[in-house]
Amino acid sequence: MRLPRRVPWSSITELDQLCSWIFTDEYDLESKTKAINRLSAWRAITPLPHALESTLALLSALVHDTSVVQPSSYLSLRHSYAAAIIRLVNGLVDPLQLGAYARSIASIANQLGLPPWLVELRHAATHEDLPSLELLRQAARESMNWLLHNYFLPTINPSTVTPPQSAPLRPLAPVLKQYKALRKIITRDASLRTQYHQEIKSVFKDVERWIAEATVSANVAVGELGWDSGKGDQSPKERWALERLCEALMEKGALVPLSKKKRAFPADSFSPPKFSVELWSPLLSDLHALHPDFPAILVNRIVLHLLTEPPQLDIVPITVDTTYDACLARWAMWTVDNWDVQNSESDLDLKKDTIVSLITGLGPSSSPSRDTAAAMALLQNLCKEDPEMDSALSLLLRPQTGPVVREWTADDITVMNERLATLLAIPETNTEMRLSEIDADPVESAETTIGPGWRLLDASSGWKPSPIGIYVG
């Protein structure tokens, strides 16, 4: 649950009034001065959201621009405009600079829908010659227009604003394909490990940047552009990004070899193909090091796939690839076993949660319509050498006695009617007293049967009526 966020306005009407002062008339300096004073007063009592901080800086520069009459003041005006635009862009991008590896400001700004030329102007004002005054004026107007449509209007009336649409995520399959090709070279010739070390590290950085991009896309999808003073809770968005990563890893050609001939499983253990483990275990280990929830998310996605019926088309029915499911089940087992040694407390919960999910999906009350051999094999191997889990599995595999579903008969209706008549014959208990009866005769009313645990107080007990929260001694 998200914690409440403190805002400087007492009601949304105040923010609406501020917006009208700023945007109703571009040349109304008196209204813009009122807006500056209101924002300054708010900033004195509480930290402002970044959008309002940027609005205050831009407004101050715009108002100062109209009062400048001496050419000697133009340089300070250019600095004011440039500082306001730099703070706007940096304050938007920095909270969304997620992940272990930094991303370019342009890529994050593109996901937020920020005009690219504002990012270039920010770069020029920071590292190159100060832009011209006319260009800075145009950038300030464009920034104010962007704030109006991306902050003020969605905050004042969210129902009338179309949710922001983030740029589509770039496909992850080419990155994973490149990683797989490099790992094949090293696996077949260990002497090349040093030569390709930097390339593999670069591919892993690209995977991390993709996770950061997906996390930002999740933020944009729910309308969170980093307006709060803090970064907030990013775990739901990061989890969404990791789920998309796991789906890409579960595609044929990644964790599961594309050729069925390469899906040769070890005979002595419930493990994936040895060559696949050599290819993908370094990437999975690095992901686990940076994202502790990654193993649980990967196992949950695999279990969900094993228990979900594949979509059927009207023309060509889709059949279940049993070797593909078996390979995914072995990867789930490998994930639990591999990190159970490193972090027993966390992975013990993961193991139990996985068993509970499988038992729920395979239990007697459920009726799975797909081939669940892989899911059952995974469940049996998870329960090995665990007496508590073995007993739970035996209950699951125990054959059911008696019919599960029975049709209604006339005798059943007769029994239900008899029970209803018995319930209706029970006399009702007087759990409430009428006020008129209490006022008429308190002693007689006290003897009336009331609910268990209750007793009626009369005048002799010293009780006096009084408002709630007021004690009368």
Domain boundary among 113, 128, 160: 160
User: What is the distance between the terminal CA atoms of the chain, rounded to a whole angstrom?
Assistant: 43
How would residue 229 be classed by pLDDT, with cut points 50, 70 and 90?
very low
38-94 pLDDT, tens digit each: 999 998 888 888 889 999 999 998 888 887 556 557 788 888 999 999 998 888 888
> 10 Å Cβ neighbour count for 159?
5
Judge whether 187 and 195 are in contact, CB under 8 Å. no
Q: Which two tokens stand for residue 124?
A: 């020029």
- Which range has the top average pLDDT, 54-63, 209-218, 262-271, 451-460? 54-63
3-state helix, strand and coil shares in percent for the chain, rounded to the nearest 5: 65, 0, 35
How would residue 346 be classed by pLDDT, with cut points 50, 70 and 90?
very low
Residue 65 lies in a domain: yes
Report, in angstroms and rounded to the nearest whole number, the Rg of the chain calculated over CA atoms. 34
Q: What is the pTM of this model?
A: 0.63
Residue 50 lies in a domain: yes
Question: CB neighbours of 450 closer than 8 A, spacing ≥ 6?
Answer: 430, 431, 432, 433, 456
Residue 237 above 50 pLDDT?
yes
Question: Within 316-452, where are the H helices?
Answer: 322-340, 344-362, 373-382, 387-397, 410-425, 435-440, 442-446
349-376 pLDDT, tens digit each: 778 888 888 877 776 655 555 677 888 8
Mean pLDDT of 95-114: 76
Q: Residue 48 and residue 17: Cα distance in Å, rounded? A: 17
Q: Residue 294 and residue 347: Cα distance in Å, rounded? A: 12
239-268 pLDDT, tens digit each: 888 888 999 999 988 888 888 888 888 888
pLDDT score, position 414? 87
pLDDT score, position 226? 47
Q: Residue 473 and residue 471: Cα distance in Å, rounded? A: 6
Judge whether 14 and 48 are in contact, CB under 8 Å. no
Q: Residue 277 and residue 280: Cα distance in Å, rounded? A: 5
Domain boundary among 143, 160, 177: 160
Residue 226 lies in a domain: no
Number of domains, the chain? 2
Q: Residue 318 and residue 329: Cα distance in Å, rounded? A: 20
Judge whether 39 and 52 are in contact, CB under 8 Å. yes
265-321 pLDDT, tens digit each: 888 888 888 888 899 999 999 888 888 888 889 999 998 888 887 665 555 555 667
Instruction: Give the distance, in angstroms, between the CA of residue 137 and the centroid of all CA atoms in the same chain.
Output: 39
Q: Residue 272 and residue 311: Cα distance in Å, rounded? A: 26
Phi, psi (rounded to 5 degrees) for 22: -80, -45
394-440 pLDDT, tens digit each: 766 665 555 555 677 788 888 888 888 888 887 655 444 444 444 44
pLDDT score, position 57? 92
Q: Average model confidence (pLDDT) for the chain?
A: 78
* Residue, of 461 and 264, whose pLDDT is higher: 264
pLDDT score, position 56? 92
252 pairs with which residues across the strands?
256
Residue 453 lies in a domain: yes
Question: CB neighbours of 235 closer than 8 A, spacing ≥ 6?
Answer: 293
Domain boundary among 126, 160, 194: 160
Q: Residue 32 and residue 27: Cα distance in Å, rounded? A: 9
Q: Residue 335 and residue 281: Cα distance in Å, rounded? A: 10
Q: Residue 458 and residue 473: Cα distance in Å, rounded? A: 16
Q: Residue 203 and residue 180: Cα distance in Å, rounded? A: 10
Residue 207 lies in a domain: no
pLDDT score, position 37? 92
pLDDT score, position 419? 86
Residue 382 lies in a domain: no
Judge whether 361 and 409 are in contact, CB under 8 Å. no
Per the structure, the complete domain to which residue 124 belongs is given by: 12-160
Residue 240 lies in a domain: no
Residue 458 lies in a domain: yes
